Structure formats: structure tokens, C-alpha cells
Structure 1
Amino acid sequence: MTVLAAAAPLAPLLAAFVGFLLRSRRAAAALAIGAASVSLVAAIGLAVRFENPFVDAYRAADFAGLSVDFGVRVNGPATLMAVTVGVVALAVQVYSVAYLHDDDRYAPYAAQVSLFTAAMMTVVVAPDLIQLLIGWEVMGICSYLLIAHDRRLPEAPGAAVKAFLVTRVGDVGFLLGIAVLGYHAGSFRIDVVLAHDYHPRDLTLATLLLLAGVAGKSAQFPLHTWLPDAMAGPTPISALIHAATMVAAGVYVVAQLFPLFEGSDTALTVLAVMAAITMLLGALAALAQTDIKRVLAWSTVSQLGYMTGALAVHAPGTALFHLFTHAAFKALLFLAAGAVIHAVGSNLIAVTGGLRGTMPATFLATTAGLAALAGLPPFSGFFSKEAVLASAAHEGGGAGWLVYGAGAVTVLLTGWYAARLWLRVFLGAPRTDAARNAHEPPGAMRWPVLLLAVPATLLGFAALSDGFVDRLGPGTEEVGHFGAALAVPLLLALAGAGLAALMWRRTDAVPNAPASAGAGPGASEAPPSLVAPVAPLPALLSPGDAGARADPADLLPARDTLAAAFYLDAVQDALVTRPVLALARWVKRGDEAVVDGAVNGSGATAVRAGGLLALMHRASVPRAAGAALAGAVLLGLVAAVLEWTR
């Protein structure tokens, strides 16, 4: 068992080290896919053979009584998480071979993906907070490298730097939180940290600091701003970051350390507020995006809010359940989006349309993914999202009803933007020649999408298995338990989707309705009546001209504000970035004037004095005689003064 647990991170780690030395595309692909396969097989073997939690670690260091252990720690959630990471990583590696077939930097890319996978696997099986921190930080480095991979995109370097710096802000708090826990527990070993009896003040401080890191890694308000911009990276990397690594890490760590958070009502209240704002903000921003990947990116922000909301209402197992279903349908959606982008040559929704006929396999897979995202039965998202809302309602109180209310509204919004994306991309008539000439991607891109459609559709039924639910850990009372209350989120999701369909059909009646990104000045001034009956499904599926130019978002009030996510980037820039840069410039000038001035001034003085002495040493006879005479006169004057003062 220990060998299997260690192989999951070590196989991709070794592949990364070797891969950085390779230049052959074929060898790099074989190594990366082989290592991902070994890691997945090890994870599956671990999940199949797992019976009881175990820890196998050795003492790596001891700093003044603070021990650091390296090894593996395996429990139920770790086995499920390892399989999830392995499946998505293998799908991404296979998919990338075709997606980046013309990329001359594929070899280092494949090595970086392997390192990314190894880092997340390290977080999953870490027995010690320091080992966990190493994997946590390596993921940050890999995200920077992979987001900036395509150097032809002018926005890629800035997006990579933004992701790195914003997550680093949270990581400072995360590091301090680990330090507080280790200092008081006398060890960084997770089992020791969880068993220690902390003073309530110290526990609250530590958990709030850890939440700063979670907000950064898992893109929670107010440190969420990096995630949509990270879409500058290759689409397979978006799938990996959004589904099984990076953003999932924060939720997973809180679930594994939940006994600590359970001891701090303050931390859980902060988490509930953060979750409610995040899920609503992400859903509202997704309504008006014109880029396929940015719609999915903002949906990830929103869905992460559901996970942290479940944590806030004492349901860590439910949070993990939604993490696993989300990993399946979000990886599917990003890879399917990559197929669409590959076919039409653009990320813009306006360039697509009518792809149901030319890309039927991608259409069916995306339909499954969007249905799961919207929470429609029998798709996986229905089971996990319903469990989150049921847990919030069961919790009650301020935090519980806050999470439930925000989650219910978000269900409505999610149904709307999922339906809008589905209608705009796949139905109606093609809006461009690229859409008319689109075709299915190569097999290496198509098969990962189709295979991911299976868990996106069926994984929710695992909630009916007691063995699966038991592995999720505590806080799973509402998983797999269905009552009349589930009708509320289902009706909200259907209402959102139906409203989007109605608006999609009716926008053709708006004169000069915009055909692409951005609402025109009058786009929402005179919306058509929204009380007309929704067109029947056969009419929606008809490939005629209806809907060729329609965009339901054209009827949204304040579309530009929604598309800009309430201008929070600008607010962050004004309140944080600019003041920090101004302070940095002031410190730089002070350093140059005072510190550098003192150092450089003393050096310049010594140089000038040395030059003067050198000049005297090298002087001609008349100058030397003059200097000797001046010295003699000076000595005589000194002697006379001394004699006179005696």
C-alpha cells in the first residue's frame, strides 16, 4: 500500500525531471503519458485495496524540537482524490498531444504538466504540513509556467504573473498558519496537529491564516481575480487547473484539516460569507462573457463557492463529493471547448453557432457536461449540488441560510448561462464560415472528451453506494438522501435554462441585435416581451436561421458591468496594486538616496583620497619639493603652537 501511495506522485515527478532534458516530441509524449498512466494505476490500486487509514513516514528534519516528516498519509478522501487527479491528468496528457501538435515547445510543456500532477499528488498523500506546503508551492510555479506557455499571446505573460502574485498573497497567510499550528503542536505532522488541544484564540488565528491561502489557490473572493485571466494558457491546462489541481487543492486541504476549522466558529463564518459572495459573483460574471473559456472559468469560481459553502456548514464530505463531480464535468467542458476552439480557430462564442450538425460527438459530450453543471438529473452535478444545498438548509442559522440562499440563486443563474452557452455554440445557424466548415477533432482529442462524459453523467449515482459515501468522510448526511426539498433547486435550474431559451428566441426580434461580444448602447433599452411561451424543443433544435445572431446576454441590464465582474479588477488595482507600486517606488528612491548614497559616497571618498595620495606619490621633483616644504612648514607651526602653550 505504501508503494502504491508513493508511486502516485513519484512517477510523474521522475517523468518531469527526465522530460526537461528531452527535445524529441515523440519521446516526451511517451514519457508523459506513460508516467500519468502509472500514477493513475497506482491510485486505482490504492483505492481498490484501501481498508483503513494509515501513515508511513520518516523523520526528515528536526528544528529545535519541531519535527518534519516525509512519507504518505492515506485515508478515504485521499484515495478518491488521487484517482480524480490521475484520471484528469492522463486525459490532459493524451489530449495535449493532438491539441499542441504544431507547438515546438511541447516537450517542456509535457514535463511541466507531469510536475504539476506530481505536486498535486504530493498534496493528496502528504503526512506532514511541510511536505504539503512543498507540493502547494510547486503547483504555483507550474501554473505560472503553463499559463505563460504560449508566448505568441500578448496577454499570457501578464496573466501568468498575475496568477503567481495573487496566489502568493494568500500563500503568505497559508505559511504563517502552518507555522502557528506547528509551533503550538510541536510538530508539523498532520495527525499530531489535528490531535493537539489549542487555545481558541490560537486556533482561530491559524485557521483564518490558512483560509487566506485557500482563497488564493481556490480562487475565492477577494483573491479570485487571477483565475479568469489564466485562460491565456493552453486549454488542456485550463482543464487541469480547474478540475483536479490548483483550485481543488484549497478545498481538499480544508476538508482534510476540518477538525481544526470545526473548532473555530469565526473561521467557518468567514468561510460562509466568502463562499456566498464567490458563488454569486462567479455566476453573475459568467452570464455576460463572450469567450467560451471565460464562461467556464467564471463557472469554476462559482462552483468552488458551493464547495467552500459546504465546508462552512460542517459538511466536508459533501464538499468533496461536489469537488469530484465538478472535476469530471469541468474537465469534460474545457476539453470539449478546446475541440470547438480547434475547429473554428477562435475562443469567441460569436464565431460559433450550429455546431450540433458538424460536431455531433462534441455536442453530446458538452450537453452532458452543461447539464451536470446546471444540476439537472440524472447528471452528476444534480446529486452533489443538491447535497450541498440540503446540508446548508439542515445546518440552519445565519451561515446555513446564507449559503443556501446564495446557492439557490446561483442555481438559477447557472441554468441560464449554461443554456446560453449550449444554444449559442451548438444550435441555430452557423454565424461564420469557420463554424460552417467545422469538424470533429482528431481521436486523441475526441476520446478523452467522450470518456470523461461517462463520470460527468454517472458519478452522481455513487451517492447511492454506502462504501463511496463512507470514504468521503464526515459531513455526508445529506449525500444520497432525496426529499421534496430537491424540487426547489431543480425548478430553479429549469427556470434559468428556460428563460435563456426564451430570450435566445426573442432576441431575433430586436432590430440590429449585436452579433458578437459586448452589448451595444441600446441592446437592453427595448427588450421584447418575455411572457411569450418558450419555443418547443424541436423548434429549438431546428438548424434554421432562428437564433443565428441571437444572444440572450444582449437583453441583460448592465451587461458591461457583469462582463467586467463588477470591475473588481479595477478596484483591486486602485486599492492595492497602485499603492503598493507607489510605495515600492518611494522605497526605491529612498534606498538609492540614503543606503546607496552612503555606500557609494564612502567608496567615492576613499577613491578620491587614494587618488590624491597617488598624485603626491607620483609627483614631479618641483611638486615633491613643494609638498615637503609645505609639510615642514606645517610641522614647524605645530611645534611652535605646542611650545607656546606649555
Structure 2
Amino acid sequence: MSTTTLLGALLPAVPLAAGLLGLLLPPSPRGARTGEDRARRAAIALGVAGAAGALALAVALLVSLDRPAEASTTWVDLGGLTVTLGVRLDPAAALVAVAVAAVALAVQVYSIGYLRRGPHDDVDTDHRYPPYAAQISLFTAAMLLVVVAGDLILLLVGWEVMGICSYLLIAHDRRLPEAPAAAMKAFLVTRVGDVGFLLGIALLGVSAGSFRIADVLAHDHATGTLTVACLLLLAGVAGKSAQFPLHTWLPDAMAGPTPISALIHAATMVAAGVYAVTRLYPLFEATPAALAVLGVMASVTLLLGAFAATAQDDLKRVLAWSTVSQIGYMTGALAVGSTPAALFHLLTHAAFKALLFLAAGAVIHAVGTTLMSRMGGLRRGMPVTFWCTVVGLGALAGVPPLAGFWSKDGVLTVAQEAALHGTGPAPTWVGWLVWLAGLVGVAVTAWYATRLLLRTFFGETRTPLARPHDPPAVMRWPVLLLAVPAALLGLAGFDRAFARRLLLTSTVGEPAGEQALIHVGPELLLPLALLAVGAGLAWLRWRRDPAADPATALGPLRPVFAAAFRLDDVQRALVVRPTEALARAARTADEVVVDGAVEGSGRAALGLGGGLAALHRAALPRAAAGVLAGALLIGLAAVLIGVSA
């Protein structure tokens, strides 16, 4: 094993060790002061050290890795079907690992201040902080395992551990009635997709005779097998990355702590699906039907998330729906054949979405509510948070020269090429669909980003809090540092070496091509015009009445958008209620048929025994009388015989 592959193997191992050690810590004593809480201090040290160690290893891997590398050893050999332990590394994986570790470190540090007090408690510290920090470390380790795994079974292990960690972290504050329900919903909805993901992996492994990713990519799969496998994998991608129709869990997951929202949205769970497709992209590239399905899924999700974000009053839910929409841009780029564009937007999105959630956490920490209708005028008391939010929302909306502008333009450019010139492996109509949806998304995103900024930081204050303030330094510095890549990371797209790192190859050791990710030209004018239209309409509506919500302009569509087209109700009617009815029927059948047969046979035996016992009891006096009479007769006979003798 080379030094490079050793770094790759250690990458998930460091936060894994920190997480496992953290789980051994006892909960913090209730009511303990922060300075006296040894368990909390140990949890902070382990969490920060694990994330910092992972970041250092990821940076070292990025510096040392200039071409793909792999190392593996056979773990299980089932006679024609092998499972290996190993890593598969390339420069793109190293970049994603840096993003994951950096966001995880920011979240660990930020959480020290954010969870200083127990939620809704008059205590000095959250007594469940030690398991919270440990679960973040395990979450990070699971995502890093997905990033570096050289075998589909290892990738699946990381994939499933993330699902468990998300359940635990979303339900961190169990006293909030919505938190456990949201955690269960996230767990169950993603499990639906994971069934397809598992079957897809099994199909590919059996077809190739190995679960090693290099073997799966090199194998000549039958067309039907490959198509079915890729479609099954897309079910898992839809669940993990919150794509239509398995997107409904993500907005409800906002019941969890805000730093966890940053981690899930920016660097772990929702990014995992996109990354998994890039990892196996040569298979999808050979399957136009799967890419067509991916393109439709991406376009619907992109628009669904954008329109739903326009009518939310909850600050975190606006950001959640924006994530759904932005992941749609990434999957759209994959549908039209560009893994570099998808990964570029994944990286910039990790920066500005982590920034936005942590800035939102600072606002919530200061005003004590997530509702924008109770905010307003916060820019004067929270200048650092305000300007960082401006950077994050600008990157989200695609304001030049912030990071999101360049990466989103990269997606729109490849979609335009696919639409107008038929480039890419998918049918031409997929390019048109993704391009047009992406353009509409630009205007809508600018509208709701402007609305969020105006409702939260401008106008008259609508909060009873007298003096809103920026968060303490331990929360402020992660926000400030994340603002740097949110502003500048997009400029890396001009660097050909950076573009080269994002070009994944199907064969380890194959050099990537040389081309820039960004091309400045007339094609930039249309997105910029749509950006100006969207932001301008929101500003004009707010300017007319600063006290009113610009969402009133949506008219009768507002409740439809606020309810996300009532797709939750549709799922409840088509899936949840029939499943519950089936469960009730199964329970009834079990109680009536199975239990009835068992209990009925018992009751029958008991009744038969009772009847026999009754007969026996009824016959007993007669039998006793008969015996007595017989004895008397025998005695009398003996007497008579004796007398006669």
C-alpha cells in the first residue's frame, strides 16, 4: 500500500475512531455548568480533533494525488463473487473529501456555542452533547467512506450508516414533538430508496462477479441488466439526495439542530447520491434510458424546490427547499453528461449552503424563532451575520462573481450544449428539459433569496427582542471562514488544473483531459437577465409595502407552493394510508386467523377437558355409591354364607 492509498484508508478511520470513543462518554450531568462538565469538554476535544484530522488528511491527499490510485484486498470470496476491502482515489474524490471534512469541522466548532444551552431548558449546557458530537463524527466518517470506497459493499456500508446517523441527529431534541416524527420520516423515506440501491448494487455485483468498483466498471454488462441496475440505483439517489418523488423528508428534517441541517445539506447525506452517480458514471453513460429518467427527475425537483421555497415563512425551510432545487442542478448536469459541472456545483454548494445554515442558526440563536414574519431589521444589530448571509444568498442566487454564479453557469452551459447541439449521452430532449428548467430556476431562486434577505434583515423589527446581536466568537468564526469559499471558490473554475481534478475516469491511472470549467461568453447574458428579473420583482413588491410579505404576490398559488404542491398529502393518500390499511389487515389476520387458530385449538382442548371433567365429576358420586353398595352386598353375602354354614 502506497502513502497515497494509506492516506485514503485513514481518512474515514480518524473520525470513526473519534466517534466511537465519543460514544463511550457519559451524558453531561443535568444542570452542570460548562466549565465543570468534563464529559462535554472531552466530547468537544474528540469531535474537533476528529474533524480536523480528517481535514488534514484530505488536504494531504489532495496535494499528493495527481492521478487516480487504488489499493484493495479480497475480503470475501464466494466462488465467483468477491467482496474487497480497499480504496479508490482520484483528485475529484480528494476535493470532495476536503469539502466534507471542512464543513464537518465548522459544524463541530459552531455547535460548541449553539448547543451551549439545552434547547428550551434553563440549564447551562445540553446534557446530550457528548453523543451529539460523537454522532457527527460517525456521520462524517460514513460520508468519507462513501467518498473513498473501492468496493460497492463498502460504499453501501457508509451509505447506510449515514441514514442511521441522520435519524439520531434529527431527533436530538426528543422533547420537540416534531423532531422524532421528522427523524422517523427521513429514515423511512430514504429506506424506500435504499431498497432499490441495494438491489442495483447486487445486480451489478452478480453480473460482474465482483463488487469492486473497477471490476464493475470494466465488465461488459448485458444491456437489460445495466439499465435495470442503473434505474434501481437512481431510486437510492432520489432518497438520499432528496429528489422527486422521495424528497419529502428533507424539509421536515429542519426539526433537528441547525448545525445538523448544515451538515446534511452541505456535505453529507444529500451530496452522497450525486457523488455515487459520478463514481459509477460510465455505467449511466452507457444507459440513455437511465439518464433520461435522471433528467426528468432533476428538472421536476429543481422547479419543485424553487417554487416551494417562495412561500415558506420558516427560515430553515426556505433553505431546505433551496437545497432540493440546487441538487436538481447537479443531477441535471449528470443527466446531460457532465460530471465536472455536477461536482463543481456540489463543491460550491457545500460552501454557500453551510454558510447559509450557520448564519441562519446565528439569527435563530439571537431572536429565538425560525419564522421570518417575526424577524426584520436585524442587519443593524447583526452586521457580521448580515454580510455573511448576503454572500451566501448571492452565491445561491448566482450573483457574479460569487461561487454559485460560476458553477450554476457551468451546469446551464452544458445543458445548453446538449439541447442545441445534441452533445452528451442522453437524448436531445433531456438537454432541453434541463436547460429550460435551469433557466426558470435562476429567476425563481433570485426571487426567494431576495425575499429571505429583505424579510429577515430589512424593514422594521417584528421581534420582541430588544437588542439582536451577532453570535459569540466560537459561532462567528466558522461563518466568517465559510464566507471565503462561498465568495471565491467559483473562480477556481478558470483554472485548468482544477478542472482536470474534477474529470473522473473509468480506468484507474488514466489521465484526465485539459479544459476549463468556465467559458465567458454571450451565453452568460440570459441567466444574468433572469437573475435581475427575479431579484427585481421581489424587491419591487417589498418596496411597495415593507411590512408585507412579497409572497402575497403569488396570490392563490401561495398556499399551493407553501404546501409544496401537496405532494406530502399525495404520498400519504397513495402510500402511507394504503400501507397502514395493509398493516391493520395483516394485524387483524394475524389476530383472527393465526392467533385464532392457536387460541381456538387451546380453547377447544380446554372445553373438551372441561366436559370430560364434568362427566367425571357427575359420575363420581354414582360410582362411589355403586362401590359402597357392592361392598355392602359382598359383606351381606359373606354373612349369609357364614350363617348357613
Q: TM-score, normalised by structure 2?
A: 0.88
Count of residue pairs the alignment pairs up:
588
Go from structure 1 to structure 2 and tell me whether the alpha carbon gap of 1:333 and 1:623 turns closer, same or farther (over 3 Å shift).
farther
Question: Conserved in 1, the CA contact under 8 Å of 2:170 and 2:257?
Answer: yes
Distance 2:613 2:95 in 1: 77
* Match status 1:553 vs 2:556: no
What is aligned with 1:10? 13
Go from structure 1 to structure 2 and tell me whether the alpha carbon gap of 1:625 and 1:107 turns closer, same or farther (over 3 Å shift).
same
Go from structure 1 to structure 2 and tell me whether the alpha carbon gap of 1:600 and 1:337 turns closer, same or farther (over 3 Å shift).
same
SS at match of 1:151: coil
Of the candidates 30, 51, 54, which is equivalent to residue 39 of structure 1?
A: 54
What is aligned with 2:92? 77
Post-superposition Cα deviations, 1:262-306, rounded to whole Å, max 9, x if no partner, equal 111110000111111000000000001101000000000000000
The structure with the larger Rg is 2
* Match status 1:359 vs 2:382: yes
Distance 1:15 1:610 in 2: 64
1:455-494 matches, within 5 Å, as 455-473=485-503, 479-494=517-532
Go from structure 1 to structure 2 and tell me whether the alpha carbon gap of 1:50 and 1:505 turns closer, same or farther (over 3 Å shift).
same
- Specify every segment of 5 or more residues in structure 1 that has no aligned partner in the other structure, as ranges: 509-546, 629-646
Distance 2:333 2:571 in 1: 27
* Match status 1:412 vs 2:443: yes
Distance 1:307 1:420 in 2: 24
* Match status 1:270 vs 2:300: no
Q: Mean alpha-carbon deviation: is it higher for 330-339 or for 466-475?
A: 466-475
Go from structure 1 to structure 2 and tell me whether the alpha carbon gap of 1:591 and 1:365 turns closer, same or farther (over 3 Å shift).
same
* Match status 1:504 vs 2:542: yes
What is aligned with 1:451? 481
Matched to 1:70, the amino acid is L
Question: Conserved in 1, the CA contact under 8 Å of 2:494 and 2:516?
Answer: no
Distance 2:623 2:434 in 1: 91
* Match status 1:67 vs 2:82: yes
1:74-473 matches, within 5 Å, as 74-102=89-117, 103-396=126-419, 397-434=428-465, 436-473=466-503
What is aligned with 1:568? 567
Displacement of 1:613 in angstroms is 8.2
What is aligned with 1:517? none
Matched to 1:357, the amino acid is R
- Specify every segment of 5 or more residues in structure 2 that has no aligned partner in the other structure, as ranges: 27-38, 118-125, 420-427, 505-512, 628-645
Post-superposition Cα deviations, 1:386-415, rounded to whole Å, max 9, x if no partner, equal 000000011122000110000000000000
Distance 1:495 1:581 in 2: 46
Go from structure 1 to structure 2 and tell me whether the alpha carbon gap of 1:55 and 1:499 turns closer, same or farther (over 3 Å shift).
same
Matched to 2:381, the amino acid is T
Question: Conserved in 1, the CA contact under 8 Å of 2:495 and 2:516?
Answer: no
Distance 1:599 1:476 in 2: 73
What is aligned with 1:519? none
Distance 1:292 1:384 in 2: 24
Distance 1:562 1:106 in 2: 36
Post-superposition Cα deviations, 1:506-564, rounded to whole Å, max 9, x if no partner, equal 1x2xxxxxxxxxxxxxxxxxxxxxxxxxxxxxxxxxxxxxx2x1321122122111111
Distance 1:346 1:623 in 2: 86
Displacement of 1:610 in angstroms is 6.8
Question: Conserved in 1, the CA contact under 8 Å of 2:500 and 2:515?
Answer: no
Question: Conserved in 1, the CA contact under 8 Å of 2:499 and 2:515?
Answer: no
Distance 1:222 1:263 in 2: 24
Matched to 2:217, the amino acid is L
Matched to 2:564, the amino acid is A
SS at match of 2:206: helix
- Percent sequence identity over aligned pairs: 63
SS at match of 2:471: coil
What is aligned with 1:543? none
1:509-520 matches, within 5 Å, as none
Question: Conserved in 1, the CA contact under 8 Å of 2:496 and 2:515?
Answer: no
Cα RMSD between the aligned structures?
2.1
Post-superposition Cα deviations, 1:461-520, rounded to whole Å, max 9, x if no partner, equal 1111111111111599671222110111111112111111111001x2xxxxxxxxxxxx
SS at match of 1:481: coil
Question: Conserved in 2, the CA contact under 8 Å of 1:181 and 1:188?
Answer: yes
Question: Conserved in 1, the CA contact under 8 Å of 2:493 and 2:516?
Answer: no
Post-superposition Cα deviations, 1:337-383, rounded to whole Å, max 9, x if no partner, equal 00000000000101211111111111111110000000111100011
* Match status 1:20 vs 2:23: yes
Q: TM-score, normalised by structure 1?
A: 0.88
Distance 2:514 2:496 in 1: 10
Distance 1:212 1:48 in 2: 35
